Structure 1
Amino acid sequence: MQLVTIGGVTVGICVLLYYLVLWFPGFKALRNDPLRHLAHLLPFLLAWCYGALALLGVGGLVGWIADTALWISNWLGDVALVWGVGGQAGTHANGSSYLPLTQPGGGIVLILTVVMIALLKKSAHARDLKLGMWCGVCLAMSAGVAGFAAVPLAQSANWLGAQVYGAF
C-alpha cells in the first residue's frame, strides 16, 4: 500500500480547488437556484468516494491502479514542492486510520468499478468523474476531513457487501 506524502495531499487539494473553481456558478446564480447548482457536484463527489474506496481496497488490478495514481501524484506534488517553493520531498503526511475492506466490501468496489467504467464511457461528466477519482485517491489517506471520510466509506462498503452477499 502506498502512503500519501505532503506532495500527494497538495495535488489532491489542487485538484479539488481546480474543480470547485470550474464548477462555481457565481454567488447570484448559487443564491437563486442552489439545489440545481449543487447537483452539478454529484458526479465529482461520487467519483471521489469511489477513488477513496479503490485506494482502500489495496489489492488486485483496481488497488494497483489506485496505488500507481497515488504514487504518481506523490511524485508530482513532491517535485512541485521542491522545485516550486523549495520544500522537501518524500515527507509522509499524517495518515488517517486505515480500515481495510472485507471480502464483501471488495465485491462492492468491483461492482462500483464496472459502474465507473460504464459512466466514463457513456456520461457527459467524464471529466468530473476523472477529477473526482484522482482527488479521492490523493486525499483518502490524509489526516484531514477527506481522510476521515474514508473510514465511513469503507464501513459502508463493508456493510453493503454483507447485505448483498449475505442474501446468497
Structure 2
Amino acid sequence: MTYVTIGGVTVGICILLATLVKWWPGLKALQKDPLRHIGRLLPFLIAWAYGVLAILGIGGLIGWIARSTLWISNWLGDAALVWGIGGHAGQRASGHGYLPLTQTGGGILLILTVAIVVAAKKSRHGDDLLMGTWCGITLGTSAGVAGFAAVPLAQAANWLGDNVYGAFA
C-alpha cells in the first residue's frame, strides 16, 4: 500500500479547491437555482468517489495505476512544498485503517472503471471526471477522508458486489 504524504494531500486539496473556484456561480445565482448549480458538481463528485475506491483496490492494473498516480502526486506535492515554499516533505500516518475491497467489491470497481473511462472519453464532463478521480486518489487514504468517506464507500461497493454476484452463485 502506498500511503499519501503531506504533499499528496496538498495536491488533492489544490485540485478540490480549483474545482470549487471554477464551479462557484456566485451567492445570488446559487440561491436562485441551487439544484442546477450543485448538479454541475455531480460529475466531479462521482469521479471523486470512484478515485477513493480505486486507491483502496488491492492490486491489478487499476490498483497499480491508482498507486502510481498517488506516488506521482506525493512527489509533486512534496517537491512543491520543499522547493516552492521552503517547507518540509514527509509521510504522515493516515490515522485510520482502510477497508480494502473484497473480491466482489473489486468486481464493482472494475465495472465502475469501465463506466468512468467511457464517460471521460464520450462526455463533455471528461475533465471533471479525470480531476475528480485524481482528487479522490490523492485524498482517499488521508486521515480525514479515510474515516469519513473511504470506509463507507468500500462497504457499499463490497455490499453491492456481494448482492450482484450473489445472484450468480
Which TM-score bucket, shorter chain as reference?
A: over 0.9
- Give the secondary-structure state (helix, strand or coil) at the position aligned to 1:82: helix
Structure 1 moving runs of 4+ over 6 Å: none
TM-score, structure 1 as length reference: 0.96
- Give the secondary-structure state (helix, strand or coil) at the position aligned to 2:143: coil
Q: Determine the structure 1 residue equivalent to 2:23.
A: 23
8 Å Cα contact 1:141-1:150 kept in structure 2:
yes
Gaps of 5+ in 2: none
Q: Determine the structure 2 residue equivalent to 1:151.
A: 151
Q: Determine the structure 1 residue equivalent to 2:80.
A: 80
TM-score, structure 2 as length reference: 0.96
State the aligned residue count. 168
Q: Determine the structure 1 residue equivalent to 2:138.
A: 138
141-150 or 7-16, which deviates more: 141-150
Mapped partners of 2:107, 2:91: distance in 1: 33
Alignment of 1:72-151 (within 5 A): 72-145=72-145, 147-151=147-151
Q: Determine the structure 1 residue equivalent to 2:44.
A: 44
1:95 positional shift: 4.1
8 Å Cα contact 2:97-2:146 kept in structure 1:
no
Mapped partners of 1:125, 1:86: distance in 2: 36
Mapped partners of 2:58, 2:12: distance in 1: 19
- Give the secondary-structure state (helix, strand or coil) at the position aligned to 1:96: coil
Mapped partners of 2:146, 2:26: distance in 1: 25
8 Å Cα contact 2:105-2:158 kept in structure 1:
yes
* Root-mean-square deviation over aligned CA pairs: 1.1
Task: Read off the aligned partner of 1:82 and give its amino acid letter.
Answer: V
Task: Read off the aligned partner of 2:35 and give its amino acid letter.
Answer: L
Task: Read off the aligned partner of 1:65 and give its amino acid letter.
Answer: I
Mapped partners of 2:112, 2:140: distance in 1: 17
Q: State the identity %.
A: 70
Gaps of 5+ in 1: none
8 Å Cα contact 1:58-1:67 kept in structure 2:
no
1:90 positional shift: 2.7
1:143 positional shift: 0.8
Q: Determine the structure 2 residue equivalent to 1:10.
A: 10
Matched, 1:61 2:65: no
